Amino acid sequence: MNGVNPASLSPGTVPTIADSARGVAGEIAALEPIDRARRRWPILLAGAITMLMLAGLARELLDHGLAALWSHVPSSPAFYLAFALLYMSPPTFDWLIFRRLWGLPAAGLAALVRKRVANEVVVGYSGDAYFYLWARARLKMVAAPFGAVKDVTILSAIAGNLITLAMLALALPIARGLLTPDQFRMVAGSAAVTLAISLPFLIFSRRVFSLPRPTLRWVFSMHCARLAFGSAMIAFAWHFAMPDVSLGMWLFLAAARLLVSRLPLVPNKDLLFANFAILLIGQGEALSDMIAFTAALTLAVHVAVMALFGLHAIVARTRP
């Protein structure tokens, strides 16, 4: 028998073993702050993105939002109902997606609203990074959030790009006579870039995506539904603000807005869309004011939402 006989141990050996055990316990205890720091880094980084959101909102609103906010205020309550549905459509559709993927609770809708704010006022896809960090900090909800967030984000971009290309194919014959040769070449070049961006993800989809293919198809269809719903809601909002223009024309302009917003080589998307809309329906000053008001109202709602989230966080921390 090769084992050590406990009876052969001298009395002085026992304290040495106990000291070793205490030493190991001390080393484990020393590692706990490092482990806590690793668990806290997603929360800290998400907080940094939140501060960037607030700074971006202040800059945007103070630069041009406040002046435009009161220049043309629609009086129809239906405008604000359609605007509210438009504002909440991206986070709501995202919540439906992640509800199916993760069983995301209703509380996750607040994080998805922050995701939308960050994407619009900080930098593109910073909101997706924030939402990943939010999910990463809640590992009890989901063990590996990166794959799902990555797939949903890529599919959102692909859905937008493919719908843009389809709308472009329908709109270019009509818009060719309304655009200058330089504008037409810029739009055509943007279409080529949009197609080039999307093709690698479609060709190498088996290597890029981690979700099952039926789930990917469902997520893609939800993104398409979100884009269609958002375009319909902004068309209804504009129609209620300027009812003398037909709803069909506003639907066409909403499609054109979605198209222009996703073209990568167009330097001033809002100006191009406004000029295109004025050429179609006239009423240049009223239309410009209404578009400016819609943009400023979006910024104002962003500010209100972030303030409510901040107030809720303060109240939650002060509760016993």
Residues 181-195: what's their mean pLDDT? Answer: 76
In a domain, 93, yes or no: yes
In a domain, 27, yes or no: no
pLDDT top residue among 234 and 175: 234
- Round to the nearest angstrom and report the end-to-end CA distance of the chain: 61
In a domain, 72, yes or no: no
Torsion of CA 78, 82, 84, 88, to 10 degrees: 160
- pLDDT value of position 236: 94
pLDDT band at 254 (very low <50, low <70, confident <90, very high): confident
- pLDDT value of position 266: 65
Find the domain containing 208 and state its range: 36-63+82-318
In a domain, 28, yes or no: no
What's the pLDDT tens digit per position in 50-60? Answer: 566 556 555 65
Answer whether residue 102 shows pLDDT above 70: yes
In a domain, 75, yes or no: no
pLDDT band at 192 (very low <50, low <70, confident <90, very high): confident
| Total domains present in the chain | 1
pLDDT band at 142 (very low <50, low <70, confident <90, very high): low
What's the pLDDT tens digit per position in 59-78? Answer: 655 555 455 556 568 889 99
Burial 147-174 (b: 16+ CB within 10 A, else e): ebbbbbbbbbbbbbbbbbbebbeebeee
Answer whether residue 24 shows pLDDT above 80: no
What's the pLDDT tens digit per position in 278-287? Answer: 776 666 667 7
In a domain, 106, yes or no: yes
Answer whether residue 42 shows pLDDT above 60: no
In a domain, 107, yes or no: yes
CA triple 19-20-22, angle to 5 deg: 65
Residues 28-48: what's their mean pLDDT? Answer: 50
Cα distances from 222 to residues 57, 129, 217, 232, 236, in angstroms, run 28, 21, 9, 15, 21
Residues whose CB falls within 8 Å of the CB of residue 195, separated by 6 or more in sequence, listed in order: 161, 165
pLDDT top residue among 237 and 196: 237
Answer whether residue 14 shows pLDDT above 50: no
CA distance linking residue 111 with residue 128, whole number of Å? 10
* Lowest-confidence region among 91-105, 153-167, 239-253, 272-286: 272-286
Cα distances from 175 to residues 70, 178, 194, 278, in angstroms, run 32, 5, 19, 13
The structure tokens listed for 112 are: 């998805």
Asked if 77 and 90 touch (Cβ cutoff 8 Å), the reply is no
In a domain, 14, yes or no: no
pLDDT band at 37 (very low <50, low <70, confident <90, very high): very low
What's the pLDDT tens digit per position in 193-224? Answer: 878 888 888 888 888 899 999 999 999 999 99
pLDDT top residue among 311 and 179: 311
Answer whether residue 89 shows pLDDT above 70: yes
